[in-house]
Amino acid sequence: MNLRIVLLCALAMTHLEALAEGHAVSARVGMLGVGIEYAYPLGERLAIRGGINGSGYAFDQSESGIDYEFELDWDSISVAVDFHPTKGPLRLTGGLMRNDNGLSVLSSISNDVTVGGATYTPAEVGTIRGAVGFDGTAPFLGVGWDWSRTRRFGVALDLGVVSQGSPKVSLSADGSLVGDPAFEADLAAEQAELQDALGDLDLVPFASFGVVFRF
C-alpha cells in the first residue's frame, strides 16, 4: 500500500512538472492596455515571454491656459525574461518593448488665448494640433507572481515600470498667422511648455493581471 502511494505521488509530481514545462498563453489587462502573451520555460527558474498590448483613452486637460483634448494610444510589443528565484510563483522580470505609445493633441480655439508670451485671437491661432511620442525601444523591470506554474489554468499578476524616454512634442496651428515669425516663436515656446508638463511620462508604472492557460 505504501509503495502504491509513493508511486501515485511520483506520477502526480511528474504530471505537475510536465504542465509547468509546457507552453502558456494568457489574456492580460492592465495599465499598458489589453493584450495577449505567450510564455515558455527555459528551466525551473527561467522563462521567456512575448506579448502584445494596446488600448486607447481620451481625456481633456488644460496646460498653460490652453484647453487640450488628448487621445492616448498605448501600443507595444514586449519580450521579457522571467527569473523564479524559489522555483515558485514569484518572478523577477526584465525586458524590452517596441514602443509605439503616444498621444495626439487637439485644441479648437474659441476665445482669445495666450500662446507662449503673447495673446492671440481664435482666427489668428485657428486649431492647434500636435503629437506626443516616446523612444521606440523601452526597457522595463518588474516583479510578479504566476500561480499557473503547476496547473493547467491559473492567474498571474505583474507590477513594474517602463522607461520610455522623455516625451517629444510637436505642435502646429492653421490660423491666419501661420508662418509669422513672432507667432511661430510663441508656438515653439508653447510646445516646450507642454513637453515639460508631460515630462513625468518618461517613467510609466504598470500593473497587469492575466488569466493563464498551459498546454
Question: Going from the N-terminus, what domains does the chain have, and what CATH number goes with each?
Answer: 2-214 (2.40.160.170)
Q: What is the pLDDT of residue 7?
A: 35
Q: Which residue from 42, 25, 54 is spatially nearest to 146, judged by alpha carbons?
A: 25
| pLDDT one-digit tens code per residue, 93-146 | 999 999 999 999 999 999 999 998 899 999 999 999 999 999 999 999 999 999
Please tell me the distance from the alpha carbon of residue 72 to that of residue 179, in angstroms, as a whole number.
29
Take residue 62 and report the three cell numbers written for it.
488644460
Please provide the size of the chain in residues: 215
| pTM, 2 dp | 0.80
Please tell me the distance from the alpha carbon of residue 30 to that of residue 208, in angstroms, as a whole number.
4
